Structure 1
Amino acid sequence: MIFLLSLSLDSLINELENEGTTISFIFYDLKNDSTIAQYYPNRRLPPASIQKVITTFTALKVFKKNFSFKTYFFRFKDELYVFPNGDPLLKDSDLDVISKKIYELGYRKFSKLYYDDSYFTKSKYPKGWFWDELDESYAPPIRPLVLNEGIFTLTYKFAPKHNFNNLYVKLIKSNVLKYEIISDTILVYGDFNRNSSLTFPQKEPEQFFLWSLKNALYKNNVIVDSVSGFKELPDDAILIYTYESKPLDSILKYMNLESSNLIAEMILRSIGAWIYSRGDWENSIRALKRILYLEGVDTNFIMYDGSGLSRYNLISPKTFIQIYKSAYKDESFFKDFLNVLVEPGEGTLKDRLKQLKGRLKAKTGTLRNTVSLTGVIDERIAFCIIIYGFNNNPQKYRNIIDNLVLMLGAGLEPASPNGQ
Structure 2
Amino acid sequence: MVSLIIFSILSLDTILNVPELKNAHYGICFLDLKNDSIIYDYNSEKLFVPASNMKIITTAASFYFLGKEFRYKTNFYLRGTIKDRKLYGDIILQGGGDPYFNLENLERFADKIISMGINEITGGLLIIDDYFTDERLPAGWSWHYLDAKYAPEISALSFNKNVVSVRMRPTNAGELANVYIYPSTGYVKLINRMTTTTNSENIIIYRKPEENTIIVDGMINIKNARDIDVAVKDPAMFAGEYLKERLNARNIKVSNPVARIRTYELFLRQKQPVLIDSVLSPNLLEIIKETNTESENLYAEILLKTLGAYRYKEGSFNAGLNAVKEFLNICRVDTQNISLWDGSGLSKHNLISPAVLIAVLKFIYNSNLYYDFYNSLPQPGKGTLKARFNGFSDTLRAKTGALQASSCLSGYIKINGQDYAFSMLFNNFVCPIKKIMQIQERIIRAFYEEMRRTNVDNTELLKPVEVIQQ
TM-score normalised over the length of structure 1 = 0.87
Q: Unpaired segments of 5 or more residues in structure 2? A: 1-7, 81-88, 171-176, 195-202, 453-470
Aligned partner letter, 1:371: S
After superposition, the Cα gap between the structure-2 partners of 1:192 and 1:114, relative to the gap in structure 1 and judged at 3 Å, is farther
What is the CA distance between 1:165 and its match in structure 2? 1.1
Say yes or no: does 1:335 pair with 2:371: yes
Q: Equivalents in 1 of 2:339, 2:411: separation in Å?
A: 21
Q: Which moved more, 1:122-131 or 1:195-204?
A: 195-204
Aligned residue for 2:104? 93
Question: Paired residue for 2:127, among 94, 102, 115?
Answer: 115
Aligned residue for 1:416? none
Question: Paired residue for 1:321, among 336, 358, 361?
Answer: 358
Say yes or no: does 1:309 pair with 2:346: yes
Say yes or no: does 1:396 pair with 2:435: yes
Aligned residue for 1:41? 44
Aligned ranges 1:338-353 → 2 under 5 Å? 338-353=374-389
What is the CA distance between 1:36 and its match in structure 2? 1.4
Aligned partner letter, 1:303: L
More strand as a share of residues: 2
Question: Paired residue for 2:257, among 220, 224, 227?
Answer: 227
Q: Unpaired segments of 5 or more residues in structure 1? A: 414-420
What is the CA distance between 1:222 and its match in structure 2? 4.4
After superposition, the Cα gap between the structure-2 partners of 1:160 and 1:189, relative to the gap in structure 1 and judged at 3 Å, is closer
Say yes or no: does 1:60 pair with 2:63: yes
Query: SS of the counterpart of 2:335?
Result: coil
Question: Paired residue for 2:93, among 82, 90, 97?
Answer: 82
Aligned residue for 1:265? 301
Conserved 8 A contact 1:156-1:192: no
What is the CA distance between 1:293 and its match in structure 2? 1.7
Q: Equivalents in 1 of 2:10, 2:332: separation in Å?
A: 35
Q: Which moved more, 1:160-169 or 1:210-219?
A: 160-169
Q: Equivalents in 2 of 1:411, 1:392: separation in Å?
A: 28
Aligned partner letter, 1:275: R
Question: Paired residue for 1:200, among 214, 230, 241?
Answer: 230
What is the CA distance between 1:411 and its match in structure 2? 4.0
Q: Equivalents in 1 of 2:126, 2:246: separation in Å?
A: 15
Query: SS of the counterpart of 1:354?
Result: coil
Conserved 8 A contact 1:121-1:280: yes
Q: Over aligned residue pairs, what C-alpha RMSD do you find?
A: 2.9
Aligned partner letter, 2:26: I
What is the CA distance between 1:263 and its match in structure 2? 1.1
Conserved 8 A contact 1:102-1:241: no
Conserved 8 A contact 2:167-2:181: no
Aligned residue for 1:299? 335
What is the CA distance between 1:31 and its match in structure 2? 1.5
Aligned ranges 1:144-223 → 2 under 5 Å? 144-156=156-168, 164-168=182-186, 174=193, 190=217, 195-219=225-249, 222-223=252-253
> Identity of counterpart residues, as a percentage?
32
After superposition, the Cα gap between the structure-2 partners of 1:220 and 1:65, relative to the gap in structure 1 and judged at 3 Å, is farther
Aligned partner letter, 2:247: L
Q: Equivalents in 2 of 1:187, 1:398: separation in Å?
A: 35
What is the CA deviation profile of residues 163-211 of structure 1, one whole-angstrom value per residue up to 9, with x for unaligned ones? 7314158875537955779xxx977655787645443111221221111
The size of the alignment, in residue pairs, is 406
Conserved 8 A contact 2:168-2:179: no
Conserved 8 A contact 1:13-1:23: no
What is the CA distance between 1:288 and its match in structure 2? 1.5
Aligned residue for 2:154? 142
What is the CA deviation profile of residues 267-305 of structure 1, one whole-angstrom value per residue up to 9, with x for unaligned ones? 101110111111111111001111232343443421100
After superposition, the Cα gap between the structure-2 partners of 1:339 and 1:102, relative to the gap in structure 1 and judged at 3 Å, is farther
Conserved 8 A contact 2:164-2:182: no
